Copies of this chain bind each other. A is one copy, B any other.
Amino acid sequence: MPAPFAYRRLVQFADTDMAGIVHFSVFFRYMEEAEHALRRHIGMSIHDRFDPADDRSRIAFPRVSARCDYHSPARCEDELRIEVTVQKLGKSSVTYGFHIFRDEAELAVGEMTSVCCCFRDGVKPRPTPLPDAVLAGLKQFAA
């Protein structure tokens, strides 16, 4: 089984709330940051065109679902390690799994499903098959 992709993130002061811990909604931003780091790792960019000849076309991955189970709080200045695996690959969709650690303590486990879409100006986004290069890159981290 391949190693998961690992993303490291320091908890910042603005991530916390008056309970003294990271606000639960911020874990979803951490997971997205890790997902985007994985995507850059396999050669993708947020600015990727769908159609190389159309500089305003974009490939994007709107969320279908997101969830997180919280085991233990994260605090300011914690050094987090977010491990990402690809749990499921559909024709157009991808489901990522996330495990968020501080050292050996697993603080949270999450999952997000996105659909690969083509965006063009003035046209309603529509699902489109995952490009072959994306598929090959994601498969490296398939659980």
Contacts and interface: CB of A to CB of B under 8 A. Distances in A.
B19 A17 contact: no
Contact of A70 (B25, B56, B64, B70): B64
A5 to B, nearest CB: 16
Contacts of A16: 17-18
A41 interface: no
Given A65-B70, A66-B67, A23 B19 contact: no
Given A32-B13, A76-B47, A64 B56 contact: no
B77 A46 contact: yes
A56 B122 CA distance: 8
Interface in A53-112: 55-56, 60, 62-70, 73, 75-77
Given A46-B76, A67-B68, A14 B19 contact: no
Interface string A38-53: 0010000111000000
Chain A to chain B: the 10 pairs with minimum beta-carbon distance, closest first: A67-B67, A16-B18, A25-B28, A24-B63, A65-B69, A18-B20, A46-B76, A14-B29, A63-B70, A25-B29
